[in-house]
């Protein structure tokens, strides 16, 4: 006989879970007790807020392709964690949220902290279930892992009444179920032939790669296919490590703040091959660069081939000319096996097209001087130079993380990921646009992989989950935070000046010393005001065993990679 709470932990261990992130609560004490007895196999990472814990679990899901696990208490614990669940849903990340709940005898009385979790989570989770029968714990855990990983990956929520966890289970009759592996949708031979004909009939094909389900093998197969047909490749929004950014066929990131010339090339393309992304709002330029529901680029002749692991995702927003339901591994293997084109003219034409698109990416890497109305360079911090130093000094397998805000555009535009083709996922960033993600994601990467994590954060973004530095220190995890302090919610101010110029409301901040705050948590905190100071501080941060927070004092005028705050305001006033 075994307590259901202990059995649940054994089920997690069987699924390969080594770390559970959460904030302890009285509604799952039996499960915590089970972790105590199995400390050599699984560790509870005690976080400072459930939102940070949920982000950490989501980050593990991105890094491993298997559900990261977050444990929270009822009511406020679950609602705090919902931000990570929503991120996992929009980012197609496998994740499991376990919620300790009120006892069965008090259910449906609006007991202390009681919440209807099905109603609350049903629009942001693949499955929400309540485990009332302790004998069925193995069944529910196995199904949760299968659901989270199969098709389009995403989060699953399991609700665990506290009294259920303390009941005995006969494990001879109800044993732990074996490790679940995701089902792989295979490649249809007829669809492959149709794709080949469409590809060879095109003149300006363009690949958009991204989404979930990628690994080193499928990334290498994609690269081999692209090289065989000499195709240009852009990575979908915040999936910039899918295809090697150093490759001569790379075209740039297809997301917020897209290179305008790249956007023009995508509209000029006559065949879009969407390899894995769900073609969300940010990747498609608000459903306008790629027009929904039917593509309208290249004078209305543009066609779409959409490859996705979930049949439900295909033809949901965009009506594809060819929809292929296949996993990334099956599709890339099949595409890679296609014979190289026999037409030298077609290959020469495609090579010229790819070279033209890639030259646009190379030109976009040239730093753009940000000047004020007097044509004077703004501020004392050169952000492209700082990103260049990150590129120079960070190890190849470093994990770069960020939350949401204009500050992220500097690494999105200028940092070049080798990524999955080298065997490592190197970007953790929320396609959901969720602030506060970067700090806990970096800490989770450091805890679970031992690799260096560097987080680019804004001042407003950092304050959402900066308290998780205490978690990093407690567990000996090292991350480096590059915090851009400009005293405003930059993205909101940008939109504010565009829509309501000079009428600033609610987007300014009076900040404390972030360097001092980092030091208070146990990081080394430093502040720089000039670009020349950054390299020495970065090298020192890389050398020391503990984490470092580098506060970069950035002029608020230096708002985007392409222009100033004043220029945005003046343009709005002229219209």
Q: List, in sequence order, every beta strand (DSSP E) within 57-192.
A: 68-72, 95-101, 127-130, 155-161, 168-169
The pLDDT of residue 369 is above 80? no
- Residue 258, domain CATH: 3.40.50.1220
Does residue 180 form part of some domain?
no
Which pLDDT belongs to residue 454?
98
Q: Determine the Cα–Cα distance for residues 204 and 302; give it in Å rounded to an integer.
A: 10
Does residue 183 form part of some domain?
no
Which pLDDT belongs to residue 373?
66
Looking at 364, 395, 425, the residue that finishes a domain is: 364
Determine contact, residues 178/13, Cβ cutoff 8 Å. no
User: Chain-wide mean pLDDT for the chain?
Assistant: 95
The pLDDT of residue 374 is above 90? no
Per-residue model confidence as pLDDT tens digits over 62-106: 999 999 999 999 999 999 999 999 999 999 999 999 999 988 888
DSSP 508: B
Per-residue model confidence as pLDDT tens digits over 324-355: 999 999 999 999 999 988 899 999 999 999 99
Judgement on whether residues 456 and 529 belong to the same structural domain of the protein: yes
Does residue 234 form part of some domain?
yes
The pLDDT of residue 518 is above 90? yes
Judgement on whether residues 270 and 414 belong to the same structural domain of the protein: no
Which pLDDT belongs to residue 417?
96
The encoded tokens of residue 113 equal 């902290």
Judgement on whether residues 234 and 156 belong to the same structural domain of the protein: no
Judgement on whether residues 42 and 107 belong to the same structural domain of the protein: yes
Average pLDDT over residues 310-330: 96
Determine contact, residues 479/470, Cβ cutoff 8 Å. no
Judgement on whether residues 420 and 563 belong to the same structural domain of the protein: yes
Provide Rg for the chain, Cα atoms: 24
The pLDDT of residue 376 is above 70? no
Which pLDDT belongs to residue 109?
87
Does residue 567 form part of some domain?
yes
- Residue 86 is part of which domain span? 2-169
Does residue 431 form part of some domain?
yes
Q: What is the DSSP string of 439-495?
A: HHHHHHHHHHH---EEEEEEHHHHHHHGGGHHHHHHTT--EEEEEEE-SB-HHHHHH
Does residue 376 form part of some domain?
no
Judgement on whether residues 121 and 224 belong to the same structural domain of the protein: no
Determine contact, residues 153/92, Cβ cutoff 8 Å. yes
Low-confidence winner among 90-99, 185-194, 493-502 (lowest mean pLDDT): 493-502
Mark residue 546 as left, alpha or beta (left: phi above 0; alpha: psi -120 to 50; beta: remaining).
Answer: beta
The pLDDT of residue 11 is above 80? yes
Per-residue model confidence as pLDDT tens digits over 441-496: 999 999 999 999 999 999 999 999 999 999 999 999 999 999 999 999 988 999 89
Does residue 175 form part of some domain?
no
Which pLDDT belongs to residue 210?
97
Judgement on whether residues 143 and 65 belong to the same structural domain of the protein: yes
Long-range interactions of 492-496: CB distance < 8 A, separation 24+: 493/556, 493/559, 493/565, 494/406, 494/559, 494/560, 494/565, 494/568
Residues in the chain: 575
Which pLDDT belongs to residue 367?
84
Judgement on whether residues 253 and 302 belong to the same structural domain of the protein: yes
Average pLDDT over residues 251-265: 94
Q: What is the DSSP string of 383-450?
A: HHHHHHHHHHHS-TTPEEEE-SSGGGHHHHHH----GGGGT---EE--TT--TT-HHHHHHHHHHHH-
Per-residue model confidence as pLDDT tens digits over 197-217: 999 999 999 999 999 999 999
Q: Which residue has the tokens 């006989």?
A: 1
- Domain count for the chain, please give it: 3
Percent of the chain with pLDDT over 70: 98
Which pLDDT belongs to residue 133?
97
Longest Cα separation, the chain: 79
C-alpha angle 302-308-310 in degrees, rounded to nearest 5: 135
Judgement on whether residues 106 and 79 belong to the same structural domain of the protein: yes
Q: Determine the Cα–Cα distance for residues 493 and 565; give it in Å rounded to an integer.
A: 8
The pLDDT of residue 290 is above 80? yes
With CA atoms as reference, report the closest residue to 56 among 474, 471, 450, 440: 440
Judgement on whether residues 340 and 406 belong to the same structural domain of the protein: no
Judgement on whether residues 316 and 206 belong to the same structural domain of the protein: yes
Low-confidence winner among 227-231, 373-377, 407-411 (lowest mean pLDDT): 373-377
Q: Determine the Cα–Cα distance for residues 97 and 69; give it in Å rounded to an integer.
A: 6
Q: Is the dihedral of CA 144, 148, 152, 154 positive or negative?
A: positive
Judgement on whether residues 444 and 539 belong to the same structural domain of the protein: yes
- Residue 71, domain CATH: 3.40.50.970
The pLDDT of residue 372 is above 90? no
The reply to whether the predicted model has a pTM over 0.75 is yes
Does residue 143 form part of some domain?
yes
């Amino acid at each position: 006989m075994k307590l259901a709470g202990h059995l649940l932990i054994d089920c997690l261990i069987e699924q390969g879970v080594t770390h559970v992130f959460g904030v302890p609560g009285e509604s799952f004490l039996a499960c915590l007790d089970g972790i105590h007895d199995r400390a050599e196999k699984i560790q509870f990472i005690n976080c400072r807020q459930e939102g940070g814990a949920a982000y950490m679990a989501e980050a593990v899901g991105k890094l491993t392709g298997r559900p990261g696990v977050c444990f929270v208490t009822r009511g406020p614990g679950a609602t705090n964690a919902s931000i990570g669940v929503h991120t996992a849903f929009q980012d197609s990340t496998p994740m499991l949220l376990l919620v300790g709940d009120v006892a069965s005898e008090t259910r449906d009385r609006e007991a202390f902290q009681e919440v209807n979790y099905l109603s609350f989570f049903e629009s942001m989770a693949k499955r929400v279930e309540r485990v009332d029968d302790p004998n069925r714990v193995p069944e529910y855990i196995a199904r949760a892992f299968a659901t989270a990983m199969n098709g389009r990956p995403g989060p699953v929520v399991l609700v665990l009444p506290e009294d259920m966890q303390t009941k005995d289970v006969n494990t001879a009759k109800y044993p732990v179920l074996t490790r679940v592996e995701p089902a792989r949708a295979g490649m249809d031979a007829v669809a492959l032939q149709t794709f080949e004909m469409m590809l060879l009939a095109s003149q300006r094909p363009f690949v958009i790669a991204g989404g979930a389900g990628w690994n080193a093998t499928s990334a290498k197969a994609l690269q081999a296919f692209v090289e065989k047909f000499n195709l240009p490749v852009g990575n979908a929004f915040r999936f910039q490590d899918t295809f090697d950014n150093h490759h001569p066929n790379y075209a740039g990131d297809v997301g917020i703040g897209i290179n305008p010339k790249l956007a023009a090339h995508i509209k000029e393309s006559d065949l879009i091959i969407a390899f894995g992304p769900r073609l969300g709002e940010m990747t498609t330029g608000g459903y306008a660069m790629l027009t929904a529901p039917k593509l309208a680029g290249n004078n209305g002749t543009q066609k779409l081939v959409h490859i996705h692991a979930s049949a439900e995702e295909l033809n949901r927003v965009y009506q594809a000319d060819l929809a292929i339901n296949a996993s990334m591994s099956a599709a890339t293997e099949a595409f890679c096996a296609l014979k190289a084109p026999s037409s030298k003219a077609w290959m020469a034409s495609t090579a010229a097209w790819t070279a033209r698109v890639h030259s646009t990416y190379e030109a976009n890497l040239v730093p753009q001087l940000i000047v004020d109305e007097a044509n004077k360079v703004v501020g004392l911090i050169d952000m492209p130079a700082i990103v260049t130093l990150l590129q120079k000094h960070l190890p190849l397998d470093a994990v770069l993380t960020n939350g949401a805000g204009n500050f992220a555009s500097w690494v999105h535009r200028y940092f070049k990921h080798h990524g999955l083709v080298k065997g490592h996922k190197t970007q953790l960033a929320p396609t959901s646009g969720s602030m506060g993600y970067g700090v806990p994601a970096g800490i989770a990467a450091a805890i679970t992989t031992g690799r260096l994590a560097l987080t680019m954060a804004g001042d407003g973004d950092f304050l959402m989950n900066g308290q998780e530095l205490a978690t990093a220190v407690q567990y000996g995890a090292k991350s480096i935070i590059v915090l851009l302090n400009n005293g405003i919610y930059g993205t909101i101010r940008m939109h504010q000046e565009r829509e309501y110029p000079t009428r600033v409301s609610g987007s300014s901040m009076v900040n404390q010393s972030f360097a001092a705050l980092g030091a208070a948590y146990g990081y080394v905190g430093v502040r720089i005001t000039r670009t020349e100071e950054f390299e020495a501080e970065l090298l020192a941060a890389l050398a020391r065993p503990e984490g470092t927070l580098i506060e970069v004092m950035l002029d608020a005028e230096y708002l985007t990679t392409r222009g100033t705050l004043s220029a945005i305001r003046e343009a709005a006033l002229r219209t």
